[in-house]
Amino acid sequence: MRQCAARRTRCARSRSGDVSTPRIVLGRKGVLHLNHGHPWIREAHLEQVEAEDGEVVQLEAPAGSARGAAVYGARSRLPVRVISHEPGFEVAGDGWWQQRLDASVARRAAVTDEACRWVHAEADGLPGLVVDRYGPVAVIQAGCAWADRVAGAVAQRLLDRHGLSGVLARHDGAFRKPEGLEQGVSVLAGEVPETLELTLGGLRRTLDVWRGQKTGAYLDQRENHIWAARVLPAGRALDAFSHEGGFALAMAQAGSSVLALDGSAPALQRLEQNAASNGLAERIEARRANVFDELRALPAGSFDAVALDPPALAKRRADTDRATRAYRDLNLRALRLLRPGGRLVTCSCSHHISREVFRRVLGQAAASAGLDVVLLEERGGASCHPRLITFPESEYLKVVLLELRA
Ligand SMILES: C[S@@+](CC[C@H](N)C(=O)[O-])C[C@H]1O[C@@H](n2cnc3c(N)ncnc32)[C@H](O)[C@@H]1O
């Protein structure tokens, strides 16, 4: 076996006439990661690479024994993404991902909404690959070199098997940069209309999959919108960081009069359009504002219900302390807005903030505000966003229901 500390150039296999199976030899720490079931292995934990960017590879322990399979990204900080722990896993051909793609769609068969996540990357065994279904259209995000390589074939298979009219690639997100992948939005198969009209949570929604945030909607909150409307008291409600009004529309439908705040003008425009098409325009005021400032300005004790769903405040591990302070401050201010007996649905979608840390932050917020607060329920993302049990990063969305004791 060739010994080699650095990967890529020195160890990359020659492609000319070389038909050997792509392989990566892990270092001792790489094997430890594999044994713990985490699907990502860093560059520092690889001993030898004989593979090209985007290939499916066999994994080997330093002693040479087969340890499973992975996909390889030559330009990524996370070059190895494990797809199987089976020593005999067949890496050649497309059969494995086709079977997993079909199984992922079948796993969501019980979803009644017209939109949901069809493929949730590592949690569905398809590293870096996200597919969101919006009625007749699917939107793909490829977040690693392998996913980028198969995106066109995935699109064609979805089109052929599920009667879609088109498949769009939303490759305009920051998630592509650390993988060394190009940015852009393009149609991968069929045709994709400018806007789509769908029913989500029993409400008519107009969605823009070309330009909207994420792939067009926050599908991870799909079930939480409906749940929140059920558990929050009707009355005067606030949807802080409303986006296109997932929580606001559901609360208004349940009888509340809602103030929706967001910094994005297109999102608020869409919210107003959706409110009108559901006959809820009278019950929702959409206001463009910086929520951090606005929560300070609103009068204390003036809401029966608040939904607080900020963007990920800790995008990198280094942001954790600053983000923890920001979550504490936001939640303190949101709790002060509640009337006695009022309820807050509060969310964190930062995967660097664990459920335990978020709960502790909420406790600190309540204590700093001098308020008696009861935790009633904890939830995660919608059921179409499964979590890999050995991969804490896949449990990024925390949703907590709090009540201000009367
Ligand atoms: C996680 S999304 C909210 C999703 C929404 N609650 C839903 O369920 O569909 C976060 C939202 O915060 C908005 N946003 C980000 N920073 C903001 C700020 N400082 N003030 C107001 N809105 C902000 C973004 O435009 C985005 O719509």
The two structure tokens encoding residue 334: 């949101």
Residue nearest atom 25 of ligand 1, based on CA coordinates: 264
Taking the C-alpha atoms of residue 172 and residue 214, their distance in angstroms, rounded to an integer, is: 10
CA of 239 to the centre of ligand 1 (A): 10
CATH number of the domain that residue 387 is part of: 3.40.50.150
Q: How confident is the model at residue 3 (pLDDT cuts 50, 70, 90)?
A: very low
Report if residue 212 sits inside a domain: no
User: What average pLDDT does this structure show over 133-140?
Assistant: 98
15: pLDDT strictly greater than 70: no
Whether residue 320 sits in one domain with residue 228: yes
Q: What percent of the chain has pLDDT over 90?
A: 87
**Same domain flag for 255 and 156:** no
Residues 377-388, mean pLDDT to the nearest whole number? 96
Residue 261 lies in a domain: yes
**pLDDT for 314:** 84
Q: What is the mean pLDDT of the chain?
A: 93
Q: Mean pLDDT across the stretch 97-120?
A: 97
Number of domains in the chain: 3
pLDDT digits (tens, 9 = 90+) for 304-340: 999 999 999 987 888 899 999 999 999 999 999 999 9
In this structure, what token pair is assigned to residue 364? 């600190």
Decide if 77 is inside a domain.
yes
| 307 in a structural domain | yes
* Same domain assignment for residues 236 and 335: yes
Inform me whether the pLDDT recorded for 2 exceeds 50. Answer: no
Task: Categorize the per-residue pLDDT at 238 as very low, low, confident or very high, splitting at 50, 70 and 90.
Answer: very high
Distance CA 184, CA 108 (A): 28
Sequential DSSP letters for 177-197: GGGTPPPEEEEEEE---S-EE
- Is residue 68 a part of any domain in this protein? yes
Distance (Å, whole) CA 129 – CA 94: 15
Determine the number of helices (DSSP H) and then strands (DSSP E) in the chain: 9, 20
In angstroms, rounded to a whole number, what is the distance separating the alpha carbons of residues 333 and 300?
A: 9
Domain co-membership, 226 together with 360: yes
Domain ranges, residue 284 = 218-404
> Does residue 135 share a domain with residue 35?
no
221 close to ligand 1 (CB < 6 Angstrom): yes
Question: Is residue 393 very low, low, confident or very high in pLDDT (cuts 50, 70, 90)?
Answer: confident
Is the predicted pLDDT of residue 239 greater than 50, yes or no?
Answer: yes
Q: Specify if 257 maps to a domain.
A: yes
State residue 319's pLDDT score.
86
| Residue 382 Cβ contacting ligand 1 at under 6 Å | no
pLDDT band at 99 (very low <50, low <70, confident <90, very high): very high
Q: 18: pLDDT confidence band, cut at 50, 70 and 90?
A: low
Whether 396 lines ligand 1, by a CB cut-off of 6 Å, is no
For helices 145-162 and 95-107, angle between their N-to-C axes, nearest 10 degrees: 60
CATH number for the domain harbouring residue 127: 3.30.750.80
Shared domain for 276 and 325, answered yes or no, is yes
From 52, 70, 92, the end of a domain falls on 92
